[in-house]
Amino acid sequence: MNYIVFDLEWNQGNAGLDTEQEDIPFEIIEIGAIKLSADNQMTGQYSQLVRPQIYHELHHITSKLIHLQMAELEKGIVFPEACLNFLDWCGDELIFCTWGPLDLTELQKNMQHYGLRQLSDRPLKYYDVQKLFSLAFDDHKVRRTLEYAVDFLHIEKDIPFHRAFSDAYYTAKVFNHIKNKNILTYFSYDTFVKPTSRKEEIHVVFDTYAKYISRLFPDKISAMEDREVISCKCYLCHKNVKRKIKWFSPNGKHYYAVSLCDKHGYLKGKIRIRKAEQEQVYVVKTEKFITAEDVLKIKAMLLHAKEQKRTKKQKQRKTKFLPF
């Protein structure tokens, strides 16, 4: 098994110059990667410029950030060839590693645009090294820049940032500094390909929380009526729990609930409604144990949401009966 630590640079349309393609708003123009063995030894590297086929002017931010000119990109190869070469170089037994969640999604969008075979038929397990850095060296929540992590770990800056290969190189260096094996149990899941059946849904338990990624639903109402979506069970003892605060939404996108396990304490559920293709939605639900103080904060959030709803209804009634 190998770790494929990769980074992409991409371009987008300049207003008035290029017509944006809905299925591929970001066109990949460079692929860079480092291959690490199972014991984190560097065993290979990949670097390739990609000749643009969609956006023929570099966006001003892209040009300024990565110090590339269109003339240089014209010497590259087209994306299907570059991508197939890259995947062939990767091999079969691998885990992708990226800095943040975007690169893997954009790679698959570009692949889909050109009709290339999907990387997976379901959500793809990978390492988000940015998240792992936060878990290993920070507060578990904040997401730092790659350069911040390099400076924090006193990694030598021997090549410039903001090119695909160099950013993959530094990401691999950061990854190699994560020695705690427990941190490496925190996989991420790319949902470019969503579950299409109950069997494909993702259920995973980490040390500090549990995560569930649902199949597709036609709309939000259908999702929130599904028994699996709204169920709450203790992920440690797998017993039913007592619902203390029913599911509610303060903003229409996120839903919260609180339950009580007699053995392990208060359990917070959080549901995120995510949009998919053809106006469908899917759900990402997380569950974690919280303190009694945290419960009070969620109760306050619930009361605030109810008050906002009541105020909105009152305004609507007043507007309805205003004289012409």
Residue 231 in this model has a pLDDT that exceeds 70: yes
Of 112-126, 290-304, 308-322, least confident by mean pLDDT is 308-322
Residue 48 contacts residue 79 (beta carbons within 8 Å):
no
Q: pLDDT value at position 140?
A: 87
- What are the phi and psi torsion angles at 32 (to 5°)? -135, 145
Q: How far apart are CA 103 and CA 279, in angstroms?
A: 24
Residue 91's nearest CA partner among 39, 153, 148, 44 is 44
List strands edge to edge, sheet with 202-205: 202-205, 210-213, 281-290, 265-275, 254-261, 242-248
DSSP 8-state symbol, 240:
B
Q: What is the mean pLDDT of residues 83-99?
A: 97
Q: What is the pLDDT of residues 189-209, one digit of tens each?
A: 999 999 999 999 999 999 999
Q: What is the pLDDT of residues 151-172, one digit of tens each?
A: 999 999 999 888 999 999 999 9
Residue 270's pLDDT band, with cuts at 50, 70 and 90, is very high
Residue 294's pLDDT band, with cuts at 50, 70 and 90, is very high
Residue 322's pLDDT band, with cuts at 50, 70 and 90, is low
Residue 201 contacts residue 228 (beta carbons within 8 Å):
yes
Q: What is the mean pLDDT of residues 56-69?
A: 79
Residue 296's pLDDT band, with cuts at 50, 70 and 90, is very high
Residue 123 in this model has a pLDDT that exceeds 60: yes
Q: pLDDT value at position 59?
A: 82
CA distances from 299 to 234, 245, 246, 292 (A): 20, 8, 10, 11
Q: pLDDT value at position 69?
A: 82
Q: How far apart are CA 145 and CA 164, in angstroms?
A: 15
Which residues, other chains included, contact 109 with Cβ-Cβ below 8 Å and sequence gap of 6+? 23, 24, 26, 192
* Global pTM value: 0.89
Of 100-109, 239-248, 254-263, 304-313, least confident by mean pLDDT is 304-313
Q: pLDDT value at position 321?
A: 54
Q: pLDDT value at position 289?
A: 97
**Looking only at Cα atoms, what is the longest distance across the chain?**
77
Q: What is the pLDDT of residues 169-184, one digit of tens each?
A: 999 999 999 999 999 9
Residue 35 contacts residue 45 (beta carbons within 8 Å):
yes
Residue range 2-185 in CATH 3.40.190.10:
no
Handedness of CA 127, 132, 133, 136 (dihedral sign): negative
- What are the phi and psi torsion angles at 122 (to 5°)? -160, 175
Residue 283 contacts residue 223 (beta carbons within 8 Å):
yes
Under DSSP, is residue 118 helix (H, G, I), strand (E, B) or coil?
coil
**How many helices (H) does the chain have, and how many strands (E)?**
10, 12
Share of the chain above pLDDT 90, in %: 78
Residue 74 in this model has a pLDDT that exceeds 60: yes
Residue 238 in this model has a pLDDT that exceeds 60: yes
Residue 51 in this model has a pLDDT that exceeds 90: yes
Residue 186's nearest CA partner among 114, 113, 129, 271 is 129
* 61-65, 231-235, 250-254, range with greatest mean pLDDT: 231-235
Q: pLDDT value at position 56?
A: 84
Residue 60 contacts residue 66 (beta carbons within 8 Å):
no
Residue 18's pLDDT band, with cuts at 50, 70 and 90, is low
Q: Report how far Cα 158 is from the mean position of its chain's Cα atoms.
A: 29
Q: Where in the chain is the domain with CATH 3.30.420.10?
A: 2-185
Average pLDDT score over the chain: 92
Q: pLDDT value at position 258?
A: 97
Q: What is the mean pLDDT of residues 276-293?
A: 95
Residue 14 in this model has a pLDDT that exceeds 80: no
Question: Buried b / exposed e across 291-324, counting CB within 10 Å, b at 16+?
Answer: eeeebeebeeebeeeeeeeeeeeeeeeeeeeeee
Residue written as token pair 């969503």: 194
Q: What is the mean pLDDT of residues 228-254?
A: 92
For the record, the structure tokens of 9 come out as 């640079």
Residue 323's pLDDT band, with cuts at 50, 70 and 90, is low
